Amino acid sequence: MNPWWMIGIGGAAMSAVMMILWFVQRKTGDAGIVDVAWGMGVGLLSLFFAWGSQEGDVSRRVIIAALAMLWALRLSGYVFYRVLTMPEDGRYQTLKENWGAKAQTKMFWFYQLQAAGSLLFALPMLIASGSTESLGFFDFLGIGIWITAIVGELIADRQLSRFRLDPHQRGAVCQRGLWRYSRHPNYFFEWLHWWAYVCLTINTP
């Protein structure tokens, strides 16, 4: 399939999904669902791009689809659980307060911005999926980076979750485990994770 067609279809689909979810958040009063949707959107777009790039190397396409979907399922699942069990994220409460009467109009465009973000984050997968080169050193390096980053993020999230459940630590700053060395180890490993796709695109024309 033509890459430009895939970009157009993917962008339109994400825009429509975010429009529906904007109506959902109006009804529920919790805008946090957008954080579930953009991550899963990246995974599903990557799956679509890998499927549609039928001239690319099959092994690389399968790996890209698998890595992106596993990442999306882990992140979106974790955020979805948080949305279901915790009050609305303070960031969105603050935005609504600052926006006042225009809050829902601005929230609509904020959701559409997240749709565009999902598409942009998935573009490396489209580029890599079109490569006809066989798997090489940088591809396996990318897989190694992905594994390291996801495991690190899982550990950091688990440590923070256990810290928050400890009533003796209420109001304190987590300094256990990986959090002893970094203020945001979960964000660090999330940042590191994206370099996996850089490696997977290096051999792409």
Distance, CA of 189 to CA of 193 (rounded, Å): 6
Give residue 65's pLDDT band: very low, low, confident or very high (50, 70, 90). very high
Classified as helix, coil or strand, 132 is coil
Integer angstrom CA distances of residue 34 from 40, 86, 108, 155? 10, 15, 11, 24
Largest Cα separation within the chain, whole Å, is: 57
Structure-token pair, residue 188: 């660090």
Instruction: Give the count of beta carbons closer than 10 Å to the beta carbon of residue 20.
Output: 10
Distance, CA of 107 to CA of 26 (rounded, Å): 10
Structure confidence at residue 170 (pLDDT): 81
Average pLDDT over residues 48-71: 94
Give residue 86's pLDDT band: very low, low, confident or very high (50, 70, 90). confident
Residue spans per domain, the chain:
1-133, 136-205
Average pLDDT over residues 145-150: 96
Average pLDDT over residues 45-68: 94
Average pLDDT over residues 64-87: 91
Burial bucket for residue 11 (CB in 10 Å: 0-12, 13-18, 19+)? middle
Element (H, E) at 44: helix 33-52
φ/ψ region of 29 (left if φ > 0, alpha if ψ in -120 to 50, else beta) reads left
Q: Smallest Cα–Cα separation from 32: which of 100, 87, 108, 98?
A: 87
Residue 83 sits at the vertex; the CA angle it makes with 115 and 106, to the nearest 5 degrees, is: 40
Distance, CA of 102 to CA of 96 (rounded, Å): 8
Classified as helix, coil or strand, 63 is helix
Distance, CA of 154 to CA of 186 (rounded, Å): 8
pLDDT one-digit tens code per residue, 126-136: 999 998 888 99
pLDDT one-digit tens code per residue, 175-198: 888 999 988 999 999 999 999 999
